[in-house]
Amino acid sequence: MPTPPIHVLPSLLSADFGHLADDLKMCEDAGATLLHLDVMDGHFVPNISFGPFIVDHIRKHTNLHLDVHLMISDPVRYAPAFRAAGADAITIHVEAVGPRAIADAIKAVRATGAEVGLAFNPDTDPELWFPHFSAVDLVMFMTVYPGFGGQSFIPQVRAFIQKTRAAFPELDIQVDGGINRETISDVLADGANRLVAGSAFFGDADKAGFIQDAEQRSN
């Protein structure tokens, strides 16, 4: 059974926020159809990025699918604001919600009208959360520890990707962290089909080629 289509998601945390509209157009011209937005609160992760106000401005400059990754301590509280700002998909961390509240959290995010994703830190075993995967649109594996860009890929996460793909052949599996032209082959072989790329994408001289090379590969 084939896995879902491959997509590269440029991570806007690596964009030039002084020329954000230009970078959004560049992503579109390169062939991106989805964009990744990292929201950090300085509490769940040791950094701060932006809130719904910036998502709203991004939405005004692009019609691309906005995949908003909430690296925050209370994602359910803020999910409606990010959906109202233009988020098409909202991904929450299982570590921020906890096992007892995860079912209600998924329902709450779904109620906003957004697609729902579950994110996992590199040391979180996804198998404990498999019963909830049928209720979400995607799962995302952090292949670095969240909070800072430019980190090196953590290869131990590959086993989690493989295990998840074997159990859920049609699920969108996204990876975020250390994704570049070298690591793409590994995660595609493991079963991932959505690749978040920040510094590697924005720093590549051939951005269209970066996307095309990844999306034309078969798993």
- Report in angstroms the alpha-carbon separations of 129 from 104, 118, 124, 197: 14, 9, 10, 25
Which residue in 23, 67, 176, 190 is the catalytic one? 176
Which residue in 38, 41, 172, 190 is the catalytic one? 38
38 in catalytic set: yes
Cβ atoms of residues 9 and 34 within 8 Å:
yes
Tell me which DSSP letter residue 178 carries.
S
Q: Which single residue is written with the structure tokens 């998601």?
A: 9
User: Which two tokens mark 164?
Assistant: 């998840």
Instruction: Determine which helix (DSSP H) or strand (DSSP E) holds 25, and give its type and residue range.
Output: helix 20-30
* Active site members: 38, 176
